[in-house]
Amino acid sequence: MHETSSVGILTSGGDAPGMNSAVRAAFRSLKMREPDREIVFFREGFRGLARRLDSSSDRSVDRRAVRDIIHRGGTFLGTGRVPELVLPAADAPDRSDRLAAREAFLRVAVANLYQMNLSHLVVVGGDGSFRGARLIADTFRETFPKRPFSVVGIPASIDNDIFGSQYSIGFDTALNNVVDAIRKIRDTVESHKRAIILEVMGNTSGWLALQSAIAGGAAIVAIPEVEATHDHAAIVSRLAAGVRRDYRYFIIVVAEGVQRMVPDWSQHLAEKIELDKATRDVLGAPMEVRINSIGHLARGGSPSAFDNTLAGLLGSAAADVIQLGHLPGEAAIEGDVVVGCRGPYPVVHPLAEVVAKSPRLVTEESPLFQLSEKLMLQAAQPF
């Protein structure tokens, strides 16, 4: 390690409740062991690496910079996505222009990192953020082969789909926000004997939809990974069976990724439910269906106690990896890494492995999916 090297910290990608706590934990843990080491905060995610450093970074930050942020949602450092880091498709008509923009961005970013004498960059974010971090780290080492530099990733994503970590920061808060919405909306759909289609976030992975549906007592869940859950006819058949068993209302939770795979999925399902003859014959009238989207509300609010604790665990573990080269009691690990958790214990995986195996998806064999099959409404339900 370069004797006077600095450590950079940034938050990237979609905001997640608990990001502030992770930044605070990494900062306090680093300073506890090395009070004179310079910590640099970059603003607006990776974008802050390639802008004027005097306006996009805070150098030599002290304890006041992380005061009173642990209870705040979002990220006080700001975040964002950087399209320049995404490799364009081979047949993209503007491929050459985008490749040039990508190269220009990387050139400025690594020059700034070198100028600031950074040996480590802590990236708090999700799958896309880790891919970008790996690209930046590889470019830095190719450009400045004699200067030590590595990335330490901290998983923060309400999708909870990062390989190598049982939980990612922000998921528990989002889960509780969605379950709270389900509980609130239950009152009105039960009063009117309606069905509600509740759209939640989850583009490629359905963990948020699946766990909120289980915890909230939903009748149906549809997730991107399991195509059988998208089948309108099967869902209508299950609802008809519920009506015959005198169910007063139905809550259907669907992840946004299903909508991307099947355009207007919710609207078409609502129409088929309202037109279903079997349901109408029992009720004497069509069942009314409403569609609500929780969307970005799931990200909002103060982080849960679990997310703040998890963020503290992972932020502190990131500092251990930077300063000790390993987690306490474990073997040394070199190169770019991601610090995750297995239960209450921190674990470390190579960044390349995390990127290659993310996103972590729901499968039909997943215990939680199997649980949903037991707890939710079925067409052949015998009781």
Token digits for 61? 């930050």
Token digits for 339? 């610090």
The residues, ordered by sequence, that sit 6+ positions from 89 with a Cβ below 8 Å of its Cβ are 95
Q: How far is it, in rounded angstroms, from Cα 164 to Cα 65?
A: 30
Token digits for 308? 């703040």
Q: How far is it, in rounded angstroms, from Cα 352 to Cα 336?
A: 8
Q: How far is it, in rounded angstroms, from Cα 299 to Cα 211?
A: 16
Side chain identity at residue 336, one-letter code: D
In degrees and rounded to multiples of 5, residue 290 shows phi and psi of: -120, 150
Side chain identity at residue 379, one-letter code: A
Q: Is 159 an annotated catalytic residue?
A: yes
Burial of 166 by CB count in 10 Å (0-12 exposed, 13-18 middle, 19+ buried)? Answer: middle
What is the number of other CB atoms lying within 10 angstroms of the CB of residue 193? Answer: 15
Q: Measured in whole angstroms, how far is the alpha carbon of residue 370 from the centre of its chain?
A: 23
Determine which helix (DSSP H) or strand (DSSP E) holds 6, and give its type and residue range.
strand 6-11
Provide the 3-class DSSP secondary structure of residue 46: helix
Q: How far is CA 80 from CA 77, 87, 124, 336, 351, in A?
A: 10, 17, 12, 22, 21
Q: How far is it, in rounded angstroms, from Cα 238 to Cα 231?
A: 11
Alpha helices in the chain (DSSP H): 19-33, 53-56, 95-115, 127-143, 171-192, 207-216, 232-244, 256-261, 265-275, 277-283, 305-324, 351-357, 367-375
Catalytic residue among 159, 172, 276, 320: 159
- What residues are labeled active site? 159
